[in-house]
Amino acid sequence: MQDVRGPPVKLLLAEASLELIPPEIWDEPDVRAYCRKRKKSPRWTLLDSSYHHRAMRKLSGTEKRGRPDIVHVTLLEALGSPLNLEGMLEVHVHTLSGHWIRIDPSTRLPRVYDRFKGLMEALLKEGKVVTEDGKVLLQSERRSFGEVLQELGKHPVVLLHESGEEMSDPVLEGLLGAGGLILVVGCFPHGDFSREVLEAADVRLRVHGQRLDAWVATSRALCSLERLLLRKT
């Protein structure tokens, strides 16, 4: 049974590369063609560097932007994890554009990428996604990274980073000791975390000597936590 503080592991996908197309490129030819084909308004369409590559040259900070596929695969990995199936994981996303997305652990995300994008577009437009019987599966609101950390409670903030100390059972046990931890994983394609995220971390841990895809880093950290948490219960 969970205690009143909730699941022991809170996963926070940070600087997630998921945002609506910004107004300054709504009129670019590749954006217009893409939206026309899909019968959508650019205002309520996700930025996707696979399709809006040319238009994105007009934006700043593009090395981290326009990759909702990273968020999709990483969420599939996290929501399907044994830790989540056993009720010991809470999944949050904080996007580069400043949205905090909370995901009910029972959510079955669309497996197909286009449908995932459609769901995220609806979420960012409406602020929530609700089932037919009224259960809130997804919620989105604007929050800073620091505000989200405060909401998640006073647990150690563990940042996955290839410069960190090697992740080991004793290190994780020490961090979990006080009742739980917040695991922060970057969900952007290139570049490093912002200073705000780096400075918010209590400890940096690495799962491998070189940079890993976000979904691989997530699965390895969850796998190590499962070894500690699921064998004790």
By the criterion CB under 8 A, which residues form the site for a copy of itself? 48, 50, 67, 69-70, 73, 76-77, 80-82, 85, 111-115, 207-208, 210, 212-213, 215-216, 219-220, 223-224, 226
Which one, 128 or 220, has the nearer CB to a copy of itself? 220
Q: How far is the CB of 69 from a copy of itself (least distance, A)?
A: 5
Which one, 17 or 140, has the nearer CB to a copy of itself? 17
Question: Which candidate, 21, 161, 18, 3, places its Cα nearest to that of 100?
Answer: 18
The Cα-based distances of 96 to 8, 63, 222 in angstroms read 26, 12, 23
Contact residues for 32 (Cβ-Cβ < 8 A; gap 6+): 26, 42
Q: How far is the CB of 19 from a copy of itself (least distance, A)?
A: 17
Residue 228 has φ and ψ, to the nearest 5°, of -80, -40
Which one, 136 or 223, has the nearer CB to a copy of itself? 223
Provide the token pair at 141.
């609101």
Interatomic CA distance for residues 190 and 111, integer angstroms? 25
Which one, 5 or 53, has the nearer CB to a copy of itself? 53
Q: How far is the CB of 151 from a copy of itself (least distance, A)?
A: 27
